[in-house]
Amino acid sequence: MRKLDLNGWEIYQLDATRFALDGGAMFGVVPRVLWGRKIKPDERNRIPMATHPLLIKTDDSLVLIDTGMGTGWDEKFRDIYAVEERDLFEGTDFGYEDVDVVIATHLHFDHMAGAVDSEGKLLFENADIYVNSFEMADALFPHARSRASYVAERIHPLRDRVVLVEGTREILPGITMIQTGGHTRGHSVVLVEKGDRAVLFLADLVPTVHHVHYPYIMAYDLYPVETLQKKYEIYQEAVKYGWILAFEHDREGRMGTLYIESGRPVLQEI
């Protein structure tokens, strides 16, 4: 767990589930000889990853962006994805009941399955849960290309509990869901602004620090050219305003600011 002060708001980069995904699927059209220099795959060609949801203690609310994978997965699932289940709130003084708002960047199992236990019980009893409306529809009715990423038993319990968001919307003062599309139709990133500082939670727009360069786009993305366009757009603002970028999927939590050098985005880690 890593903690950051944002002009008085506490930002926690949590250490949730550890897992692994196929390196080829994670790097799309980038050849293995190139991505293999940045990160070493295991004997099953999987690269080590994790989920790092962002917990924000504002002046009056506790807000969680994504939940990780949660617990209670069966042996087959844990084997396929090399899952190591962990306590979402480890290292903080908070628990599920303290969370006022949950924001879902999208409903893939590695982002939001942790909202529900293996019995289908919602774990955030006191929270309003915000989900993009396209994402909710697509998660309830997946197609053959997207089905493996949506686990029905962890999505259906959310159905009557979520607040649907269309497009880009400020959820609380200073906390804005920005629909990017790309990875999925309704995929969203979240901007957290307090005073003159801001953190942008990138979710699957840029899943790890190794995906900062423009063509490093996952094969999982349903609309990869949209991802590319959004990277250009969001990077321009991130550079202009000095946003801190928070990455969700590196094995260890990573954050940094961006600058452009000879047309290429370069991350300055903090």
Binding positions for Zn ion, rule: CB under 5 A:
108, 204
CB of 204 to Zn ion, least distance (A): 4
Concatenate the DSSP letters of all residues of 103-121 into one string: E-S---HHHHGGGB-TTS-
Residue nearer to Zn ion on the CB measure, 183 or 254: 183
Q: Position 118: which residue type?
A: S
Residue nearest to Zn ion (CB): 108
Least distance to Zn ion, CB of residue 60, Å: 31
Strands 197-201 and 244-247: parallel
- Burial class of 270 by CB neighbour count within 10 A (0 to 12, 13 to 18, 19+): exposed
Q: Which is nearer to Zn ion, 135 or 204 (CB)?
A: 204
Can you point out the beta strands (E) in the chain? 2-6, 9-13, 18-22, 46-50, 54-57, 62-65, 101-103, 128-132, 162-165, 169-172, 175-179, 188-194, 197-201, 244-247, 254-261, 264-269
Whose Cβ is closer to Zn ion: residue 108's or residue 254's?
108
**Residue 135: CB minimum distance to Zn ion, A:** 10
Complex with Zn ion: residue 18 or 108, whichever CB lies closer: 108
Tokens 């906390």, residue located? 175
Q: How far apart are CA 62 and CA 9, in angstroms?
A: 10
- Nearest approach in angstroms of CB 163 to Zn ion is 21
Which of 193, 204 has the CB closer to Zn ion? 204
CA dist list (Å): 106 to 134, 165, 172: 10, 11, 18
- 28 sits in the region (left: phi over 0; alpha: psi -120 to 50; else beta) called left
Give the residue with the Cβ less far from Zn ion, 204 or 250: 204
CB of 209 to Zn ion, least distance (A): 17
Integer Cα distance of 131 and 106 in angstroms: 7
- Tokens representing residue 157 in the block: 């319990």
Closest contact distance (angstroms) between CB of 105 and Zn ion is: 8
- Work out how close the CB of 216 gets to Zn ion at its nearest, in angstroms, rounded to a whole number: 15
Task: Measure the CA dihedral 20/102/178/138, to 10°.
Answer: 70
Comparing CB distances to Zn ion, the nearer of 108 and 197 is: 108
